[in-house]
Amino acid sequence: MNIRFYNARVLTMQDPVQVQENQELWVKGERILYVGGQSKEEILHQLGAQAPVFDREIDCKGNLLMPGFKNAHTHSAMVLFRSCADDEPLQGWLEKNIFPVEAKMTGEDCYELTKLAVLEYLTSGVTAVFDMYLTPETILEAFTDCGMRNVQVSGINNFGPEPEVMEERFLKLNGKNDLSSYMLGAHAEYTCSLELMEKIAAMVQKYKAPFFTHNSETLTEVQGCMERYGKTPTQLWADLGAYDFGGGGYHMVHVSDEDIRICKEKNLTVVTNPASNIKLASGIAPISKFMKAGVPVAIGTDGAGSNNCLDMFREMFLVSGLAKVTDKDASSVDGAEVLKMATVNGARAMGLNDSDVLAAGKYADLIMIDLRMPNMQPLANIPKNIVYSGSKQNVVMTMIAGNILYDHGRFYVGTSEEEIYDKANEIANRLMKA
């Protein structure tokens, strides 16, 4: 479709981070054709024969258009565990509540549960998801059927799959469609033998590919790695060569100065998940240290089993708020930088360089924020309002690849939300009560 947005405020997320008023944004197919302050007549004259015929023209009435949030670490189908596996530290939480049920989950279960997560992502203004879970083929299918942009990442560990399967997925799922891609990764050091880690690192070298893994989430994890190898997880993966072509670590809570140096040297992105980390009492990542070292930070929600919601607004507030408390400095981790983490940095970590900012030629992955609500007023500093007082109620539209998938409370994902809810509850009754 060709869609014209007019009478809009626009936050492109290009430096400097500032809002432009009285803007036009034109979408042609899946990409942005124009964004700027010219009138419709001026733009038409400028485009000439390339000017589109619009299928829809939307008066934004002064509301804000901005890039969608990028949920840079999650396990979508873990919505199954929402509020059913709470109030336990990570290791016990995994061993008692998660692993036994996951052993019974099918690819079809993951497909249906991922659709439920998609609905929640859309209401939170998320336009792309970095997902690590059991059956990436069916999860990718669910995202594709809903129109959601996604990057799958391998969660290989001692329980499966075999390295050959990870390689097959890397070759098969990359380029399967314009919405999806696949990256090499591992669940974590503590779930992988040294032999397996060496095979993973060899595959990274073979394809010269970025690598992502859960890293230094808990103090127990780091201490265990030190006991086994005399190194932190970051140092171990780096010495094996897994980080030679970039990538990053999820959580990165308990890190040394040497770990941070490696992150900078290897061009890694730290993906912080503050709500999950504090709920599991894992700790608080040293965000300001990463920033001062020049290490990019992105934001994820983690799965709904440990969060329990997939809400990027809550994550943004926590990223800044927890850093201020930890650093005992109210100026630490500025809100505008947090907004960049949730959009630009996440996109670039995921390899989605055409979805990072709003500009001509980029994918039309964008959201509309309703500024005519009490928590957005007055409009003294809109970017700070989004981080410090914004909430999901402010997201009134989510567009991915030029398609409006969520619009003022209604979903357009090919399946009714009632059917998605019914399927999720049927799966929960079958697996959680067995």
**Chain segment 264-314, per-residue pLDDT in tens:** 999 999 999 999 999 999 999 999 999 999 999 999 999 999 999 999 999
How large is the average pLDDT for residues 17-39? 97
pLDDT of residue 434: 59
pLDDT of residue 97: 82
Residue 197 pLDDT greater than 80, yes or no:
yes
> Could you tell me if 11 and 100 lie in one domain?
no
> Does residue 423 fall inside a structural domain?
no
> Could you tell me if 53 and 109 lie in one domain?
no
> Does residue 397 fall inside a structural domain?
yes
Q: Comparing 46-50, 162-166, 171-175, 218-222, which segment has the lowest mean pLDDT?
A: 46-50
How large is the average pLDDT for residues 72-95? 88
> Does residue 421 fall inside a structural domain?
no
> Does residue 261 fall inside a structural domain?
yes
d(CA 251, CA 266): 17
> Does residue 257 fall inside a structural domain?
yes
Residue 90 pLDDT greater than 90, yes or no:
no
How much is the mean pLDDT over the chain? 97
pLDDT of residue 95: 82
> Could you tell me if 282 and 401 lie in one domain?
no
> Could you tell me if 145 and 103 lie in one domain?
yes
Bridge partners of residue 66, in order along the sequence: 367
Sheet holding 247-251, edge to edge: 69-74, 126-131, 149-153, 180-188, 211-215, 247-251, 268-272, 297-299
- pLDDT tens track for 55-69: 999 999 999 999 999
Residue 220 pLDDT greater than 70, yes or no:
yes
Q: Which among 319, 349, 379 is the end of a domain?
A: 349
The single-letter DSSP state of residue 299 is E
Our count of domains for the chain comes to 2
Q: Which of 294, 256, 244, 291 is nearest to 272 (CA)?
A: 291
pLDDT of residue 367: 99
Per-residue confidence band for 89, with pLDDT thresholds at 50, 70 and 90: confident
> Could you tell me if 147 and 30 lie in one domain?
no
Per-residue confidence band for 85, with pLDDT thresholds at 50, 70 and 90: confident
Per-residue confidence band for 94, with pLDDT thresholds at 50, 70 and 90: confident
Domain harbouring 148, CATH code: 3.20.20.140
d(CA 419, CA 406): 17
Per-residue confidence band for 92, with pLDDT thresholds at 50, 70 and 90: confident
Where in the sequence is the domain holding 44, given as residue range(s)? 2-67+354-411
Residue 183 pLDDT greater than 70, yes or no:
yes
> Does residue 190 fall inside a structural domain?
yes
Contact present, 56 and 381 (Cβ < 8 Å):
no
Phi, psi of 187 (to 5 degrees): -60, -60
Question: What amino acid is encoded at 434 in this protein?
Answer: A
How far does Cα 343 stand from its chain's mean position? 9
Bridge partners of residue 65, in order along the sequence: 10, 368
d(CA 357, CA 22): 18
